[in-house]
Amino acid sequence: MSQKFIAKSRRLRSTIYSSRIEQQGLTSYTVYNHMLLPAGFSDSLEQTYYHLKKYVQIWDVAAERQIQISGKDASKLIQLMTPRNMTNTKAGKCYYCPIIDDNGGIINDPVILKFNNDKWWVSIADSDLLLYAKGLAIGKKFEVEIFEPNVNIMAVQGPKSFDLMNKVFGSKILELKFYNFDYFQFADNKYLIARSGWSKQGGFEIYVENDEAGLALYDEFFRIGDEFNIKPGCPHLIERIESGLISYNNDIDIGDNPFECGFDRFVDLDSDIDFLGKERLKEIKKEGISKKLMGVTISANEIQITGSLNLFYQNKLIGELRSAVYSPTFKKVIGMAMINKPFFTIGQNFEINLGDKGDKSIHSGTVCELPFI
Ligand code: THG
C-alpha cells in the first residue's frame, strides 16, 4: 500500500508535545478529535509492545480533549447523557461512561472526572460531544457553561511508571487509587494527575493545564528516566486489543447500543435517574440484543485493517471484524468483531478473506471472550 501524507492546517490541531516527540523518532500521526494523535515511533510495533509491558512510556494523548460542563445544572446534564447512575459519584474520581442518544446508540465512551456537583470534565473519545451537550443544554434550558479548556494529557504508562512518578512527585503519588485524581506538585507547578490510562500496564494520566509546565515536566521525565528505560510512546494497538480496551468509531459506533458493546455494568434501568434513551434501552433489554462485540482469533501471521472485514460461517455472513493485529504473545491475529445473533458464542468458527484487492486468501478464525489477557 502506498503511503500518503496528511496535510496540516489550523483545523487539524497540533499538540503542545509535537516539538518534543517529532525529535524523538515519531513516524506517524492519526487524527482524533480534529487533532494530531501520535500513532507510531521508529521502533517496530513489537519492540514498543515489549517495551510498554516492561518499562515506562510517555504518551502525548492531548487529543483526548476535555469538555468542561459547569454550572448549577451540570450534574443533570451529565446524567442526561449517560445510562450509568451518577447519583452517588464522588469528587476526585473518574468514571468510564457510555454516552448515548435517544435511540440508545453510542455517541462516545469518555472518562468523566468529577470535581464537584457543579463542575465536571468529560475526557472524550473521537466524536464531537461538545455539540451534543450544547444542543441538549439549549433545548432543556439548563444553566450550564460548556467549553473545551486548554488541557493536554500526557500519559505515563507501563510497570515502571510508579518508580518514575515517585521520583518526580514523591511517594504520595503511590497512594493514589485507580481511577482517582488529585493535584501534585513538581517544581513551581501543580498538576492534576489521575491513576488511569489506555493500557493495562499500570500508570497515570497528567492533565496539563499550563503548556510551559507540561513541557517542563516532559523534559524532567526524560532527564531522569534513563534508569527506568523511559521512551516516548503512544496508545498501542497490540496491547489495547489484548486488554480489551475499546476504541470508539473503530470497535463501536452510533449504530451500537451499550448492551451490544458489553457495557451492561454501566446501565441502570431500575432507578429513577433521567437519561436519554432509557425507554429504548428497556425495550432492547426485553427483546434481547441482535449482535455483540466479541474477541476473535484468526490463524494468520499478519493483517492490515482499514475498514470492516466480513466474517462467514458456512457461506453465511455472521459479523464483521472491526480491529485486528498480530499478537506476538498469542502467535496469531487477534481482534474485536461485532458478531450477529445467534453466532456470538465462544468457540463459534468462521472464515475470513484477508486477500488484498480481489485476491483470495481464506483464513479460519474463532470467536472468544474479551479481554484476551
Ligand atoms: N483516558 C482519558 N480520556 C480518554 C481515554 C483515556 N478519552 C478517550 C478514550 N480514552 C475513551 N475510551 C476509553 C476506553 C476504555 C477505558 C478508558 C477510556 C478504560 N477502561 C477500563 C477497563 O475497560 O477496564 C476501566 C473502565 C472501568 O471499569 O471503569 O480504561 O484512556 N483520560
Task: Tell me how far apart the alpha carbons of residues 150 and 307 are, in angstroms, rounded to a whole number.
Answer: 32
- In which residue ranges of the chain is CATH 3.30.1360.120 found? 18-63+151-242
Query: Is 66-125+257-289 assigned to CATH 1.10.3210.10?
Result: no
Question: Which ligand 1 atom is the nearest neighbour of the CA of 108?
Answer: 11
- 197 alpha carbon to ligand 1 midpoint, in Å? 7
Average pLDDT, integer, range 31-49: 97
Average pLDDT, integer, range 24-36: 97
CATH fit for domain 290-368, picks 3.30.470.20, 3.30.300.30, 3.40.50.300, 2.40.30.110: 2.40.30.110
**pTM of whole model > 0.85?**
yes
CATH fit for domain 18-63+151-242, picks 3.30.1360.120, 3.40.605.10, 3.40.50.300, 3.40.50.720: 3.30.1360.120
| Residue 81, C-beta contacts closer than 8 angstroms, at least 6 positions apart | 99, 100, 107, 132, 133, 136, 275, 276
- 94 alpha carbon to ligand 1 midpoint, in Å? 10
Task: Tell me how far apart the alpha carbons of residues 18 and 74 are, in angstroms, rounded to a whole number.
Answer: 33
- Residue whose Cα lies nearest atom 29 of ligand 1: it is 96
- Residue 271 confidence class, pLDDT cut points 50, 70, 90: very high
Task: Tell me how far apart the alpha carbons of residues 190 and 207 are, in angstroms, rounded to a whole number.
Answer: 10
Which of 82, 196, 199, 263 for a ligand 1 pocket mutation test, highest count of atoms within 8 Å of Cβ? 196
Report how far apart, in Å, the C-alpha atoms of 223 and of each of 25, 158, 227, 228 are: 17, 18, 10, 11
pLDDT at 102 over 80: yes
- Residue 354 confidence class, pLDDT cut points 50, 70, 90: very high
Q: Please confirm whether the linkage preceding 342 is cis (ω < 30° from 0).
A: yes
Least confident window among 61-65, 91-95, 206-210, 303-307: 303-307
Q: Which residue has the cell 493514589?
A: 176
Residue type, 197: G
Task: Tell me how far apart the alpha carbons of residues 66 and 60 are, in angstroms, rounded to a whole number.
Answer: 14
* Helix intervals (H) in the chain: 18-21, 45-54, 74-81, 129-140, 161-169, 211-224, 237-242, 278-287
- Residue whose Cα lies nearest atom 27 of ligand 1: it is 96
Task: Tell me how far apart the alpha carbons of residues 352 and 320 are, in angstroms, rounded to a whole number.
Answer: 9
- 344 alpha carbon to ligand 1 midpoint, in Å? 24
Residue 155: closest CA among 112, 208, 114: 208
Q: Which three cell numbers stand for residue 145?
A: 457553561
- Residue whose Cα lies nearest atom 15 of ligand 1: it is 245
- Residue 4 confidence class, pLDDT cut points 50, 70, 90: confident
Which of 64, 191, 251 for a ligand 1 pocket mutation test, highest count of atoms within 8 Å of Cβ? 64
Q: Please confirm whether the linkage preceding 98 is cis (ω < 30° from 0).
A: no
- Residue 249 confidence class, pLDDT cut points 50, 70, 90: very high
Tens of pLDDT, residues 206-235? 999 999 999 999 999 999 999 999 999 999
Looking at residue 357, its pLDDT comes to 79
- In which residue ranges of the chain is CATH 2.40.30.110 found? 290-368
- Residue 1 confidence class, pLDDT cut points 50, 70, 90: low
- 47 alpha carbon to ligand 1 midpoint, in Å? 24
pLDDT at 369 over 70: yes
Looking at residue 3, its pLDDT comes to 74
Q: Which three cell numbers stand for residue 143?
A: 444553566
Q: Which residue has the cell 518526580?
A: 168
pLDDT at 179 over 90: yes
Average pLDDT, integer, range 19-46: 96
**Contact of 338 with 322, CB cutoff 8 Å:** yes
> How many other C-beta atoms lie within 10 A of the C-beta of residue 96?
16
Q: Which helix (H) or strand (E) holds 11?
A: none
Ligand 1, CB within 6 Å, residue ranges: 64, 96, 109-111, 123-125, 153, 196-198, 205, 245-246
- 198 alpha carbon to ligand 1 midpoint, in Å? 6
Average pLDDT, integer, range 106-125: 98
- 294 alpha carbon to ligand 1 midpoint, in Å? 18
- 357 alpha carbon to ligand 1 midpoint, in Å? 35
Average pLDDT, integer, range 162-183: 98
- Residue whose Cα lies nearest atom 9 of ligand 1: it is 125
pLDDT at 118 over 90: yes
Question: Which ligand 1 atom is the nearest neighbour of the CA of 235?
Answer: 31
- Residue 5 confidence class, pLDDT cut points 50, 70, 90: confident
- Which position has the higher pLDDT, 3 or 250? 250
Question: Which ligand 1 atom is the nearest neighbour of the CA of 126?
Answer: 8
pLDDT at 350 over 90: yes
